């Protein structure tokens, strides 16, 4: 960077988000070097544990495919529990990635460049994890394609378009596809960079996956345009996917589910949990992969502020639910919210409200926002709290619905825990592989930051040719 | 269904023609390769191999389906010719069309008339005979379930001598040899049976006994009414059991008699009781019912006023009632009011009873289930005082449903113990397991040199017998039944005997040296005994045929005419019972004395009161439990004074339980229940119902009070001690444990309760059920322009007996899932009885609410199903398309009634040869699909087809279609029909002042209306 002294004079927003006066070559080296050589022992430990969890989950899934859904603790009253909680949890996690990569891109939030690649990868992996659950959770998963609109000889018999589960399936598959394409598109210039650095087989493989990227102005122009379009496409998905997921509950008539505020409430919750997860991951990556100069305290502060905001939106939603339950005068609704808070499983709600609404309030203090350990703890507690939020909504609502004769407890079985652990196993296994084989930070994008110093991010879009010209030079330097 | 549409058969020849071709395939078929796979593995093979073969539903369907497929495939082969169904098709045997045989239920000794539904030669379901004067078409859960006993894999298939299989000729030779010796020595021969209501069999026994000097027929009843008979011996001079006429009664006082659930003839009593409580609009008669009992029973739950006492206080309470009605005051012993001192029924309530009984006069009825002779003498005195003999009690045409003589049984056991008995033929029953003195009986049996058992399976008694001459199942038997003097039912077989078994009637005749088939013996008996009295001028053959069709005949001329004299009983010396806890053993609904304990349908049936299935529990009053530090599921050691026996059982905290009585259901610990080890899904974490080789529950006989020769199913000086274990009970309704503090349940609000009650007084003053019609919808309502099937359930009638649950289970192939699955709330019943307690101003009030799919007009399950597997048909039935269902369970979540059931595993409906009870009209559901009540759509379709066949087109009579639950309901609480027909019964009921719908305010537009419970409170 030019100098930190210069930064005093400029607007902090224009300040560069990369520290340590990096040259473009150094950026490539800092990020690319992680992909060479052997992984460290911490990676192996993490990978081993993740693989173990994945294996456990895999065993559970295979076993229950052969035996039946009865392996889970579900019962006549509680038809959804751990698995749908996990599903909503993972879908929610994914949202931060799309928000960071699409919305913040459109809003010209330059700090996103440091985290968008991992956040997007996290989105993809999280959606993969999420997608597993409704599948394994079906009574007859081998007929999952009945949910798809495919031509058939039955009439044609279509799926039921009124069912939120159909919307769900369409929303999630669209989301996954767009996120995948978006993520991969952003990856192409970096893959080209890696190709240029690598030798032998690696070069060949990176070569194939970089689609013959040549770094020409034309290529860059097309790239930027497609990226912009995809960002535009992905933006509504941030809002729509979790709105649709929330419809699974909101369109039903179960007290605790049947709520019109669910879509914004779920979206805010999703972003909240997603940012918490991004932060959790980034804080670890930053430490273990020495990305302190790329993911700076400023980045962390920015993200904690988003968390604080979304936490308060979620908190508002919580209070609205209680208010409406009281205000509606609906006996079942009132009973449900009393039971949720004061009933035999009040501790679930205690965790939920505590972790999501109360604890994040400490983020008002700058000292806390800059204390990495505290932030790390808060992100973890948010992850736990948000899991419990879905758990409380799903399970406690089903437990005590209309007819007291059917009220039931939920007793989880080892299979419930197994597949939950398994999904975390899957998540971290794939994420660790990602960290090994693909650049965790978008090299090409971060080079904007380095190359332009304090120049506003939008400038290179306004003057695409300039930016496009600048980057190949950087590439050349790096090689 | 009106029986005009049933296919009856009229003669033996016709029956043979019907049955023969459909039964086991000829052996030569097995020669062909394909056939060996299919046909041999089909019906015949299945029966023979059933012991080894554990077949699941899929395998069964594969086999039966494959049988036909293979027959078609191998059409040109030799074997296939044999597989063609009929060369000359019998007139009435149409494959796929059921044939109904009028018969008499052998589930217990109540003798209800049944129609056995045969499909393709095998009985698959029992329905009450609608014309039978005893049960009027209804049947209890035990009767419904008894069809499974026919296909029981554990039945004895051949006669045995000393545990070795043999044939009938050898067995007969050996038995007759032994009998000859006995006759020569004039040795004591005893024939023991439960109450037999077959006049032909009783006559056969009588002739057998006459032929053997020193022989005697001893009758016992596991649920004995011996004291009632003995009391009538004293007061009326004849040892009879009165025929109780609850339909005639305006005031009913029950003392420890669960007459709606388990006592003597519950189906008949429930129907009669209900006919005394018929309400339409604001009109109708309504009896008044007081119940005094120690544990909560379904009868107590229906009572208008209920009080609890300890079993030992029952007699004293009765004596006090008698005194208030004018009996000598010394009956109640010394002191002003000893009852108050022992805290029995408070005097005010007894006053109310006495007042009501006095007002009712001859329309009053006191029934008492106690085995204390004094209690029964007092009961007789009260009934006589009221003038009830002749109106509400009939001793002229008495009941023959209980004939057991406890004193004779006690004498037999003593004789056996002394080694005086040389021969014992156990004709019916399992006395070792069923008698309170079972152990003494078993010990005595070891001293009897010659023992024969006619039991169907190797039970505790049969296993001690040298000779086993297995009887036919009643569905394979020719028999008759006279439950009420003069009301004679004729029982015909619905299938040829499956195994090499022989009817008791034939066996006894054979051992007397008289060869003859049961049919011939029966006919001969009828010709000489029944026909002269009931022949009505017909020729015998015509009389026989018409009786066979109808299933019964009225032999009214045969009234036995008890003497009108009433001898005042001498009651005295009643003492207040000692303080302290007592234990009472009660027959549980359907399980009763445990004779069908091996039947999984019965074991899985949740008790209508405590909603517990499979588990045997100790019911403890809530306060008592608190004092003793007991909690639900705590395992305790239960013992009582004067016996070393200790029962280890889990505690169930029971509202309405007498504070000083522990109640334990009997009928557990029976032979054959070891099989439940294998029931339920096979998966990693399944806990078997019983450990390998263990029996389900414990036999409580050893704790019964054996004093004065009339054993009583209760005992004083009971105590419990905690073992420290706590088990989770297999309870299907656990809102007890998920109970909420009162402040959490907002009282006010714009919602109507799920169950509604009113007192008779309010009702007479014009009270109506609370309705809440939702404001309506933005969308156009779905209109059912043709028919809309609907149901009305009268909560005033429903007593919770749960016959409907088992009827539904059989009709709809609902699987049994086992205890662990019930614990995990995976039970599959399509209809359940929701039970709610309410603390009324004078004690607990209990209400039972049958809950099945409400067939909503705006069904919440439908829009949420992603694959449209659940839809409403044009006639308003919400149907489940199993093929389409992928099992997201969203529909179940969104069902506010929670009536949907999911196949969590591949639950076998039944296994082994028991698969033959499956209803071919109903799909057997596979793992992973949702299922639920569909108003017996197969019955609807069947009757619609029937109407078309009969040339009536779409025209159907109201009431022509009966759902399985409705058909079997003893209280006729369920009505089914077309609600779009304003004149249909269901329309009238749905428009009744008491009608309401459950959760109507959710705008689900249910098709099921409930009629509010009315209690006749004073």
C-beta atoms surrounding A172 within 10 Å: 21
CA distances A139 to A66, B412, B881, B899, Å, are: 11, 59, 14, 18
Residue A7: the pLDDT is 40
Tell me whether strands B647-653 and B634-640 are parallel, antiparallel or unpaired. antiparallel
Structure tokens at B953: 């087109």
Structure tokens at B259: 């007459």
Structure confidence by residue, pLDDT tens digits, A46-70: 999 999 999 999 999 999 999 999 9
Q: Is the pLDDT of residue B8 over 70?
A: no
Instruction: Give the pLDDT of residue B35.
Output: 32
Own/partner pairs for B691-698, CB < 8 Å, 24+ apart? B695/B668, B695/B669, B695/B670, B695/B671, B696/B597, B696/B603, B696/B614, B696/B616, B696/B668, B696/B669, B696/B670, B697/B615, B697/B616, B697/B668, B697/B669, B697/B673, B698/B616, B698/B647, B698/B648, B698/B649, B698/B668, B698/B669
* Token digits of residue B295: 């544990």
| Average pLDDT for chain B | 85
Q: Which of B893, B903, B928, B997 to mutate to test the interface with A (most CBs of A within 10 A)?
A: B893
Helix residue spans in A68-111 (DSSP H)? 82-98, 104-106
- Please determine, for residue A99, whether its predicted confidence score (pLDDT) is greater than 60: yes
- Is A79–B892 a contact, with Cβ atoms under 8 angstroms apart? yes
Contact B886 A79 (CB under 8 A): no
Do A329 and B865 make contact, defined as CB atoms within 8 angstroms? no
Q: How far is B511 from chain A (nearest CA, A)?
A: 54
Quote the CA–CA distance of B999 and B754 in Å, as a whole number. Answer: 6
Instruction: Quote the CA–CA distance of B138 and B968 in Å, as a whole number.
Output: 4
pLDDT bin (cut points 50, 70, 90) of residue B738 is very low
Contact state of A74 with B904 under an 8 Å Cβ cutoff:
yes
Q: Cβ contact (<8 Å) for B894 and A252?
A: yes
What confidence score (pLDDT) does residue B334 get? 59
CB contact under 8 A, B825 and A76: yes
Contact flag A411-B824 (C-beta cutoff 8 Å): yes
Chain B CB contacts of A67 under 8 Å are 681, 683-684, 905
Please provide the size of chain B in residues. 1018
Q: Which residues of B touch A329 (CB under 8 A)?
A: 749-750
Q: How far is B622 from chain A (nearest CA, A)?
A: 20
The token pair that represents B458 in the structure block: 């190797």
Contact B733 A165 (CB under 8 A): no
Work out how many CB contacts closer than 8 A connect A with B.
202
Give me the pLDDT at residue B139, please.
94
The predicted structure's pLDDT at residue B333: 67
Are A330 and B749 a contacting pair at CB < 8 A? Answer: yes
With an 8 Å Cβ cutoff, are B864 and A251 in contact? yes
pLDDT digits (tens, 9 = 90+) for B204-262: 999 999 999 889 999 999 999 999 999 999 999 889 999 999 999 999 999 999 999 99
Q: Which helix (H) or strand (E) holds B366?
A: strand B364-368
Strand partners, B468: B160, B453
| Residue among B681, B733, B885 whose CB faces A70 most closely | B681
Surface-to-core class of residue B487, CB atoms within 10 Å of its CB (0-12 exposed, 13-18 middle, 19+ buried): buried
Confidence label for B564 from pLDDT (cuts 50, 70 and 90): low
- The answer to whether the Cβ–Cβ distance between B998 and A74 falls below 8 Å is no
Nearest CA-CA partner of B892 in A330, A74, A275, A40 = A74
Q: Has residue B62 got a pLDDT over 50?
A: no
Q: What is the DSSP string of A142-153?
A: GGGGGGS----S
Q: Do B824 and A70 touch (CB under 8 A)?
A: yes
B371-374 — which CB contacts under 8 Å span 24+ positions? B371/B224, B371/B226, B371/B227, B371/B406, B371/B710, B371/B711, B371/B712, B371/B713, B372/B227, B372/B314, B372/B315, B372/B710, B372/B712, B373/B227, B373/B230, B373/B231, B373/B708, B373/B710, B374/B315, B374/B319, B374/B571, B374/B574
Q: Which tens digit of pLDDT belongs to each residue from A119-152?
A: 888 899 999 999 999 999 999 999 999 988 888 8
Contact A403 B904 (CB under 8 A): no
CB contact under 8 A, A69 and B890: no
For chain B, percent of residues with pLDDT exceeding 90:
59
* Amino acid B345: pLDDT: 62
More confident residue, B586 or A13: B586
Averaged pLDDT for residues B689-712: 89
Q: What is the mean pLDDT of residues B309-314?
A: 87
Residue B31, Cβ density class (10 Å: 0-12 exposed, 13-18 middle, ≥19 buried): exposed
Partners of B870 on chain A (C-beta within 8 Å) are: none
pLDDT at B752: 60
Residues A337, B480: Cα–Cα separation, whole Å: 62
| pLDDT at A329 (0 to 100) | 79
Residue B199: name the closest of B207, B188, B190, B189 by CA.
Answer: B207
Residue indicated by tokens 């974490």: B685
Mutate to test the interface with B, among A76, A134, A165, A166 (most CBs of B within 10 A): A76
* The two three-digit tokens of residue B431, written as one number: 């006395």
Chain B positions touching A332 (Cβ under 8 A) are 751
**Average pLDDT in the A309-335 region?**
88
Is 0.80 topped by the overall pTM?
A: yes
Confidence of residue A328 (pLDDT cuts 50, 70, 90): confident
Beta carbons of B864 and A254 less than 8 Å apart:
no
Mapped onto helix, strand or coil, the DSSP state of residue B2 is coil
Helix H, strand E, coil C: the string for B430-497 is CHHHHCCCHHHHHHHHCCCCEEEECCCECCCCHHHCCEECCCCCHHHCCEEEEEECCEEEEECCCCCC
At a CB cut-off of 8 Å and minimum separation 6, what does B946 contact?
B5
Residue B749 has pLDDT above 50, yes or no: no
**Inter-chain touch A407–B890, beta carbons under 8 Å:** no
Question: In chain A, what residues touch B884 (CB-CB under 8 Å)?
Answer: 146, 157
Residue B739 pLDDT > 50, yes or no? no
As a whole number, mean pLDDT of residues A292-314 equals: 86
Cα(A51)–Cα(A43) distance, rounded to whole angstroms? Answer: 12
Cα nearest neighbour of B1001 on chain A: A330
- Facing residue for B746 by CB, picked from A331, A342, A344: A331
CA angle B707, B713, B714 (to 5 degrees): 80
DSSP symbol at B684: T
Give the least confident one: A442-456, B376-390, B935-949. Answer: A442-456
Segment A355-363 mean pLDDT: 91
Q: What is the mean pLDDT of residues B625-640?
A: 92
pLDDT at B840 over 80: no
Contact B296, B654 (CB under 8 A): yes
- Mean predicted confidence (pLDDT) in B182-192: 91
Tell me the DSSP string of B764-814: HTT-----------SSPPP---S--EEEEEETTT-----HHHHHHHHHTTP
Spell out which residues of chain A touch residue B750, defining contact as CB-CB under 8 Å. 329-331
Q: What is the largest CA-CA distance in chain B?
A: 93
Rounded to an integer, the average pLDDT of B581-602 is 92
Mean pLDDT score, A252-281? 90
C-alpha to C-alpha distance for B578 and B716, rounded to whole angstroms: 8
Strands, DSSP E only, in A372-451?
A: none
Of A77, A330, A335, the CB nearest to B745: A335
Question: Minimal Cα–Cα distance from B751 to chain A, Å?
Answer: 7
User: Whole-angstrom Cα distance, residue B235 to residue B33?
Assistant: 73
**A-interface mutation test, from B895, B897, B899, most A Cβ less than 10 A away:** B895
Q: How far does the CA of residue B876 sit from the closest CA of chain A (Å)?
A: 19
Instruction: Give B-chain residues touching A138 at CB under 8 angstroms.
Output: 886-888, 928
Q: Model confidence at B20, in pLDDT bands (50, 70, 90)?
A: very low
The Cα of B975 is separated from the nearest Cα of chain A by a number of Å equal to 23
| Residue B59 clears pLDDT 60, i.e. is over it | no
- Min Cα separation A82/chain B (Å): 14
- A-chain CB neighbours of B908 within 8 Å are none
| Nearest CB to B904; choose among A70, A169, A254 | A70
Mean pLDDT of B795-813: 94
Q: What is the mean pLDDT of residues A1-19?
A: 51
Give the Cα-Cα-Cα angle B314, B666, B626 (nearest 5 degrees).
70
pLDDT in tens, B721-730: 999 999 989 9
Helices (H), B40-108: 43-49, 57-73, 78-83
User: Is residue B901 within a helix (H) or strand (E), and if so which, with residue range?
Assistant: strand B901-902
Say how many CA atoms lie within 13 Å of A315 toward its Cβ.
16
Please check whether residue B1017 is in contact with residue B761, taking contact to mean a CB–CB distance below 8 angstroms: yes
Q: Which of the residue ranges A283-292, A413-422, B466-475, B895-904 would you say has the lowest mean pLDDT? A: A283-292
For the stretch B349-363, pLDDT in tens is 888 899 999 999 999
Nearest to B893 among A80, A339, A343 (CB): A80
Interacting residues of B748 by C-beta distance below 8 A, sequence separation 6+? A331
Model confidence at B96, in pLDDT bands (50, 70, 90)? confident
Domain range annotation of chain A: 24-142+171-478
Higher pLDDT, B472 or B62: B472
What ipTM was assigned to the predicted interfaces of this complex? 0.89
A200 burial type by CB count under 10 A (0-12 exposed, 13-18 middle, 19+ buried): exposed
Residue B819, classed as helix, strand or coil, is helix
Two structure tokens written together for B411: 């004498």
């Amino acid at each position: 960077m030019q100098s930190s002294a210069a930064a005093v004079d400029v607007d902090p927003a224009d300040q560069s988000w990369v520290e340590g006066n990096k040259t473009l070559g150094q950026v490539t080296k800092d990020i690319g070097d992680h992909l060479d050589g052997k992984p460290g022992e911490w990676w192996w430990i993490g990978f081993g544990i993740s693989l173990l969890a994945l294996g456990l989950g895999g065993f559970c899934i295979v076993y229950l495919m052969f035996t039946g859904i009865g392996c889970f603790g579900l019962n006549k009253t509680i038809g959804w529990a751990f698995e749908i909680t996990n599903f909503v949890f993972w879908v929610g996690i994914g949202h931060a990635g799309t928000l960071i990569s699409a919305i913040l891109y459109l809003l010209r939030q330059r700090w996103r460049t440091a985290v968008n690649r991992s956040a997007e990868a996290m989105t993809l992996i999280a959606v993969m994890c999420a997608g597993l659950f409704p599948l394994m959770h079906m009574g007859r998963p081998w007929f999952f394609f009945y949910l798809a609109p495919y031509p058939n000889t039955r009439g044609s018999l279509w799926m039921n378009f009124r069912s939120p589960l159909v919307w769900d399936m369409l929303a999630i598959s669209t989301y996954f596809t767009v996120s995948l394409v978006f993520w991969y598109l952003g990856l192409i210039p970096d893959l080209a960079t890696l190709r240029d650095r690598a030798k032998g087989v690696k070069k060949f493989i990176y070569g194939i996956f970089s689609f013959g990227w040549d770094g020409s102005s034309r290529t860059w122009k097309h790239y930027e345009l497609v990226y912009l379009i995809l960002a535009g496409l992905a933006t509504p998905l941030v809002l729509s996917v979790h709105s649709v997921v929330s419809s699974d509950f909101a369109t039903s008539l179960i007290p605790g589910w049947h709520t019109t505020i669910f879509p914004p409430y779920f979206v805010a919750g999703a972003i909240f949990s997603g940012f918490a997860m991004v932060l959790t991951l980034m804080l670890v990556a930053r430490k273990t992969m020495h990305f302190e100069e790329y993911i700076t305290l400023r980045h962390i502060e920015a993200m904690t502020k988003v968390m604080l905001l979304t936490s308060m939106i979620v908190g508002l939603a919580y209070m609205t639910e209680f208010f409406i339950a009281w205000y509606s005068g609906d006996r079942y609704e009132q009973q449900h919210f009393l039971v949720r808070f004061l009933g035999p499983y009040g501790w679930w709600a205690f965790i939920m409200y505590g972790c999501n609404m109360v604890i994040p309030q400490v983020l008002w203090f700058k000292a806390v926002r800059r204390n990495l350990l505290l932030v790390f703890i808060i992100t973890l507690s948010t992850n736990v709290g948000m899991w419990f939020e879905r758990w409380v909504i799903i399970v406690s609502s089903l437990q005590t619905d209309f007819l007291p004769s059917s009220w039931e407890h939920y007793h989880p079985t080892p299979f419930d825990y197994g597949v939950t652990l398994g999904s975390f196993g899957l998540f971290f296994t794939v994420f660790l592989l990602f960290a090994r084989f693909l650049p965790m930070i978008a090299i090409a994008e971060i080079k904007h930051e380095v190359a332009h110093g304090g120049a506003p991010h939008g400038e290179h879009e306004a003057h695409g040719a300039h930016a496009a010209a600048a980057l190949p030079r950087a590439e050349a330097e790096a090689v | 269904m009106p029986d005009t549409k049933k296919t009856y058969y009229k003669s033996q020849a016709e029956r043979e023609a019907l049955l023969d071709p459909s039964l086991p395939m000829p052996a030569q078929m097995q020669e062909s390769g394909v056939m060996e796979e299919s046909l041999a593995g089909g019906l015949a093979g299945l029966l023979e191999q059933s012991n080894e073969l554990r077949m699941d539903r899929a395998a069964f369907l594969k086999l039966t389906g494959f049988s036909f497929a293979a027959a078609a495939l191998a059409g040109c082969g030799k074997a296939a010719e044999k597989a063609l169904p009929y060369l000359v098709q019998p007139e009435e045997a149409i494959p796929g069309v059921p044939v109904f045989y009028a018969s008499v239920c052998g589930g217990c000794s109540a003798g209800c008339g049944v129609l056995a539904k045969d499909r393709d030669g095998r009985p698959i379901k029992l329905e009450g005979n609608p014309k039978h004067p005893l049960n009027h078409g209804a049947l209890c859960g035990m009767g419904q379930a008894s069809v499974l006993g026919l296909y029981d894999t554990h039945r004895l298939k051949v006669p045995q001598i000393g545990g070795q299989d043999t044939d009938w000729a050898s067995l007969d030779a050996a038995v007759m040899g032994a009998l000859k010796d006995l006759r020569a020595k004039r040795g004591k021969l005893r024939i023991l049976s439960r109450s037999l209501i077959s006049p032909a069999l009783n006559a056969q026994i009588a002739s057998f006994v006459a032929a053997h000097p020193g022989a005697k027929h001893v009758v016992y009843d596991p649920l004995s009414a011996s004291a009632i008979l003995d009391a009538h011996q004293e007061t009326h001079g004849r040892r009879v059991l009165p025929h109780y006429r609850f339909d005639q009664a305006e005031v009913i006082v029950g003392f420890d008699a669960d007459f709606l659930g388990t006592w003597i003839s519950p189906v008949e009593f429930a129907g009669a009781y209900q006919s005394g409580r018929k309400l339409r609009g604001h009109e109708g008669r309504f009896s008044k019912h007081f119940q005094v009992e120690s544990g909560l029973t379904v009868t107590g739950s229906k009572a208008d006023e209920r009080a609890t006492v300890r079993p030992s206080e029952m007699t004293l309470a009765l004596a006090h009632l008698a005194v208030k009605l004018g009996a000598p005051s010394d009956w109640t012993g010394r002191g002003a009011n000893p009852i108050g001192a022992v805290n029995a029924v408070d005097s005010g309530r007894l006053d109310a009873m006495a007042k009501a009984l006095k007002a009712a006069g001859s329309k009053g009825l006191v029934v008492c289930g106690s085995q204390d002779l004094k209690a029964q003498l007092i009961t007789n005195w009260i009934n006589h005082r009221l003038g009830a003999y002749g109106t509400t009690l009939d001793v002229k045409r008495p009941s023959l449903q209980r004939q057991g003589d406890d004193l004779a049984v006690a004498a037999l056991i003593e004789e056996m113990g002394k080694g005086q008995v040389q021969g014992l033929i156990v004709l019916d029953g399992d006395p070792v397991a069923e008698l309170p003195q079972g152990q003494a009986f078993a010990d005595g049996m070891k001293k009897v040199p010659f023992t024969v058992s006619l039991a169907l399976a190797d039970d505790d008694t049969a296993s001690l017998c040298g000779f086993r001459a297995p009887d036919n199942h009643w569905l394979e038997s020719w028999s008759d039944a006279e439950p009420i003097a003069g009301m004679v039912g004729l029982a015909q077989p619905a299938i040829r005997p499956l195994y090499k078994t022989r009817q008791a009637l034939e066996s006894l005749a054979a051992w007397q040296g008289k060869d003859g088939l049961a049919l011939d013996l029966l006919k001969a008996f009828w010709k000489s005994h029944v026909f002269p009295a009931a022949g009505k001028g017909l020729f015998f053959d015509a009389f026989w045929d018409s009786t066979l069709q109808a299933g019964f005949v009225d032999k009214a001329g045969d009234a036995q005419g008890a003497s009108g004299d009433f001898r005042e009983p001498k009651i005295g010396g009643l003492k207040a019972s000692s303080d302290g806890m007592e234990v009472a053993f009660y027959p549980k609904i359907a399980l009763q004395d445990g004779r069908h304990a091996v039947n999984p349908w019965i074991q899985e049936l949740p008790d209508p009161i405590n909603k517990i299935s499979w588990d045997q529990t100790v019911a403890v009053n809530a306060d008592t439990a608190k004092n003793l530090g007991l909690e639900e599921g705590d395992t305790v050691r239960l013992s009582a004074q004067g016996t070393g026996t200790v029962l280890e059982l889990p505690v169930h905290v029971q509202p309405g339980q007498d504070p000083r009585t522990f109640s334990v259901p009997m009928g557990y610990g029976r032979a054959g229940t070891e099989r439940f080890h294998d029931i339920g899904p096979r998966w990693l974490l399944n806990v078997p119902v019983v450990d390998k080789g263990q029996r389900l529950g414990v036999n409580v006989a050893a704790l019964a009070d054996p004093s004065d020769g009339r054993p009583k199913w209760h005992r004083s000086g009971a105590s419990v001690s905690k073992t420290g274990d706590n088990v989770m009970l297999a309870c299907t309704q656990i809102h007890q444990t998920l109970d909420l503090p009162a402040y959490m349940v907002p009282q006010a609000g714009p919602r109507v309760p799920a169950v509604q009650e009113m007192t008779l007084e309010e009702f007479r003053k014009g009270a109506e059920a609370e309705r809440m019609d939702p404001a309506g919808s933005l969308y156009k309502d779905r209109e059912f322009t043709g028919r809309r099937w609907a149901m009305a359930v009268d909560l005033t009638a429903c007593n919770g007996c749960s016959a409907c649950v088992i009827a539904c289970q059989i009709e709809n192939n609902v699987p049994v899932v086992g205890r662990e699955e019930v614990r995990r709330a995976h039970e599959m019943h399509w209809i359940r009885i929701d039970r709610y307690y309410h603390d009324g101003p004078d004690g607990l009030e209990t209400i039972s609410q049958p809950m099945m799919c409400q067939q909503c007009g705006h069904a919440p399950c439908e829009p949420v199903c992603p694959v449209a597997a659940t839809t409403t048909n044009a006639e308003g039935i919400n149907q489940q398309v199993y093929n389409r269902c992928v099992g997201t369970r969203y529909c179940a979540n969104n069902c506010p009634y929670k009536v949907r059931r999911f196949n969590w595993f591949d639950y076998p409906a039944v296994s082994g040869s028991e698969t033959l009870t499956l209803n071919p009209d109903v799909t057997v559901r596979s793992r992973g699909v949702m299922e639920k009540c569909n108003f017996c759509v197969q019955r609807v379709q069947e009757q619609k087809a029937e109407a078309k066949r009969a040339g009536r087109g779409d025209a159907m009579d109201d009431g022509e279609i009966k759902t399985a639950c409705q058909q079997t309901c003893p209280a006729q609480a369920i009505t089914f029909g077309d609600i779009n027909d304003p004149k249909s019964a269901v329309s009238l009921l749905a428009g009744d002042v008491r009608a309401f719908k459950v959760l109507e305010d959710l705008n689900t537009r249910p098709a099921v209306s409930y009629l509010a419970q009315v209690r006749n409170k004073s």
